[in-house]
Structures are given as structure tokens and as C-alpha cells.
Amino acid sequence: MKILITGCAGFIGFHLTKCLLNQNHIVTGIDNLNDYYDVNLKYGRLAELGIYKENIINNVCLLNSKYNNLHFFKADLNDHKYLNDVFYDGNFDMVCNLAAQAGVRYSLTNPQAYIDSNIQGFFNLLECCRTHNIKKFIYASSSSVYGLNQEKPFSTTHTADKPASLYAATKRCNELMAHSYSHLFKIETIGLRFFTVYGPWGRPDMALYSFTKTILENKPIQIFNNGKMKRDFTYIDDIIEGIVRIIDKAIQNQTKYSDANNQCKVVNIGHGKPVPLIDFITAIEKNIGIKAEKQYLPMQDGDVEETWADVSELRNEYKYQPVIGIAEGVRRFVKWYRYYNHLEMISLIKKSI
């Protein structure tokens, strides 16, 4: 299949791209490589895919020798004209949108970035799907859409009308936009409500990366809500397994669109078990071999105390079964983190010589 993946240099996008390439799908990847976090991490992910920084040119298709079934564009989803050209040349069977401005806390100080990327960019993709008659559109939503919902575990049958942050509001808006395009233009849309994804190549602003880095630097880690937090931590391999199962079923489902076929949906992708943040930190300390100095702080604006995914729909319909627990997931991340920073140090030494 010819699949467009947006945000292919991002955390989840990179892992999904690599998986689909190894399954011999023809993948076109788009990423604008913005500087929300260290761009070198994004270049490192791309290098794993055979795409190297020195060869990247804006709005130019880049091929590579490692994966001859990958085409990469450094491009922005807000460039509707160029995006339309990519769709015209790509003749895609499916779009998987993982591009977004991420982060709850960043949305408090930089709200415009979320409107530009998560609303305007999302709209441009839907329009391209409509214009180019692409009938399968899978996209990243977020567990944050549940916001201040008090019912646990979070189920897709619950209302999601009380977002606690602008980031969450834009993700809920994506779901509503997808619903309208599905209804009006007969596009099968599936929103993926991710729950606290972690693992190798993760984002520096997320808990696991941030805590690991801070502990190794012998600095105190900041723990909000005085440590009374729980998260449905989900390892990246389990997330990718879930997405691939959804993609495979969408590919197999070639029946004509009808509302009766429920071809506009959202699904939870999580581990299905909330873990106290303190237990997560303990696993990090064990793998690093250093006891963290802890600074306890009040709850941050836009945050929620607990997330917990009801993944029964994914289990029943897609045979989804997460298998990586916190102990193994954190072990794998810390091993990667040490290796990645070792390579970064070697690179800095070479540049200084």
C-alpha cells in the first residue's frame, strides 16, 4: 500500500514509519522538523531511516539507499499548495496523520502554534483527502480529550467536552472535524487516543526522558501534584502494534462506505492499567542506579491527576494485547538513552577536533 505518514520524524511517527517500511509498504513521510524540542533528536531518527541532515532540502523529495520504499519531504502542513502537489504525485491509499504540536504545558504559553498545526494543518490534510478521493484517514488524537472527566477507566463512550488545556481542545476539535468529513465525503476516519507513550527515541519534554536526564545530571526532579499522579504508561512497541493492527484492518476493509459500517470512530490505545508516577520514578532509579532528589510541587495548570484507558474495544475488534510493562519498558529506554548520548558525545568530540 502507498501510505502517507505526517510527522515521520516525531516519536510515534518514526517508529510507525520504520515498521511499515519493514513490512514493504511504500511510505511517503512528511515532517517540518520544527524546533519545539532538540532538532538533533529528529535528525537522529531520520538517520535511522537512511535520511541524513546534510541532504535535506525544503520541499524536495528525498530518496535513500537504506529503504527504497521511502520518500521523504521536509514540508509544512500549512503549505496547502505544496501539500496538494504531494498528494497529486503520491496517489496514496491511506493517510496516517501523526503530525501535531504536542505538549500540554507549551500550549499555555504558545497557543498559536496549536491552532496553526493542529487545526489548520489538520484541515489541509482533510481537504487533500477529499480532493484526491482518499477514503482512509487515520490520525493521532490524545487521552487528554477526556480532560476533567471523572469516570474511570476512560471509555470512548464517555463525553469529552471538558478539555483541561488548549492542546486537548485542538485534539477534540480534530475528532469533530474528522467526523464531519467522514459524514459528508464518505471518508473512513479513525482517531487514535494515545495514553502516555514512552520508550526509545521519546520526546525530551516527556516524563521518562526528562527524569532520566535530570537524575543523571544529579539535579532534583520536579514532581507535580505532590506525587499523587497516575498515568496509563504505554510502551512504544505496544502502541505501534495497535496502530498496525488498525491499518491492516482498514486495508482489508474494502467495502463501500456506509454509516452503518461505523466508519468514523475513535479508539483508545493504552496499556489499560494506571501506574502511580512514584512507581515509574522508582523504576527509573533502579535502572540508572541513582536515587533521585525529589522536589514536590502543586498540580500544574492544564494537567489531570489520573489517566486510565479502557482498551476493550481495541482488544475485541483488533486483538490488541499490550505486553511491555513498566519494568521492561524503562529498562529498554535507559539502555537506549545511554547509547544515544554516547553517540552524541562522540559526535561533539569529532566536531571539536
Nearest of 173, 163, 138, 165 to residue 269 by alpha carbon: 138
How many C-beta atoms lie closer than 10 Å to residue 255's C-beta? Answer: 9
E strands present in the chain:
2-6, 26-31, 70-74, 94-97, 136-142, 188-194, 197-198, 221-223, 230-231, 234-235, 264-269, 275-276, 294-296
How wide is the angle at C-alpha 103 spanned by C-alphas 287 and 5, nearest 5°?
Answer: 90
CA angle (6, 165, 126) in 5-degree steps: 30
**H or E, element range at 185:** helix 166-185
Output DSSP code: residue 50.
Answer: T
Taking alpha carbons only, the member of 325, 190, 236, 208 closest to residue 12 is 236
Kind plus residue range of the DSSP H or E element containing 130 = helix 122-131
Residues 173, 249 contacting (CB under 8 angstroms): no
Per the structure block, which three cell numbers stand in for 112?
A: 498559536
Return left, alpha or beta for 201; rule: phi > 0 is left, psi -120 to 50 is alpha, else beta: left
Active site residues: 167
Output the CA–CA distances (angstroms, integers) from residue 226 to 212, 276, 321, 325, in the order listed: 19, 12, 32, 24
Beta-strand pair 230-231/275-276: antiparallel
- Cα Rg of the chain, angstroms: 20
**Residue for grid cell 520504499:** 69
